Amino acid sequence: MQALLFRKLLTYTLFGLLSSLLLSGCAGIATRDAAQAGAQRVYHEDIELSGRLLVLYQQNDKEQSLPGSFEWKQNKDSTLVTLLSPLGQVVATITVDASGATLVQAKQAPKHAQNLDSLMNETLGWPMPITGMRDWLQGFVRNAQGERTAISTSNDGSTPADGWQLRYASWQDDFSLPKRIDLNRYTAQAGNVALRIVLNPAADSAAPAANEQKTP
């Protein structure tokens, strides 16, 4: 009887050890694959993206919350952002190029300024770091030398960039693009500003290979 109990106990112990080894092996492979994907991530000068956007800010000492979605188009020379309401209506379009920034709202004359932050604060009441987002939406930041570097997919901490704090909360299944990015900063006009971005997959939105830049 004791021998039978011993054999059962030994079997359960071996099964538990094998299960632990298999699980740890799978986790190690997933972590390694994620790290390799981050190292091989490709930056696209020309790309179209879309997703959901939640803006949290303060106006007249009151908390404001603006949910909606956005469409993003960029090329080497310009960026076009379309902000939409939860019902899909166009709230504003913002174009940024060498001449400055232009913002167009429904039934209003276009407004142009050299300084994007000033234009956004004046018209919408909150900042949107479009220049930085050209990199951030693809999982890149600039280092002190201005060089573009890929964010590690295993880094879920806060990364400072251009006065903002970036947190990459999750990634697309193939790790090629972020899935959720949280941006935070404080401004004198809008108080504590938070942008919550959830990107849609962009499998077919990348530009031709001539406009791709691989980051070592």
* 31-73 confidence digits (pLDDT tens): 444 445 455 799 999 999 999 999 999 999 899 999 999 999 9
**Residue 101, helix vs strand vs coil:** strand
Contacts with 97 (C-beta within 8 Å, 6 or more apart), sequence order: 77, 78, 79
At 208, the pLDDT band (50, 70, 90 cuts) reads very low
Q: Which among 135, 100, 134 has a CA at the least distance from the CA of 117? A: 100
Q: What topology is assigned to 42-214 in CATH?
A: outer membrane lipoprotein receptor (LolB), chain A (2.50.20)
Over residues 183-198, the pLDDT tens digits come to 999 999 999 999 999 9
Distances from the Cα of 173 to the Cαs of 102, 143, 152, 212, in angstroms? 35, 26, 15, 21
Task: Return the HEC string of 14-64.
Answer: HHHHHHHHHHHHHHHHHHHHHHHHHHCCEEECCEEEEEEEEEEEEECCEEE
Q: Which among 119, 135, 137 has a CA at the least distance from the CA of 127? A: 119
End-to-end CA distance of the chain: 63
The predicted pLDDT at position 114 comes to 94
Least confident of 28-32, 70-74, 159-163, 164-168: 28-32
Write down the mean pLDDT value for the chain: 83
Half-sphere exposure of 33 (CA within 13 A, CB side): 11
Contact 34, 176 (CB under 8 A): no
For residue 47, give both structure tokens: 């790309």
Span 19-26, average pLDDT:
45
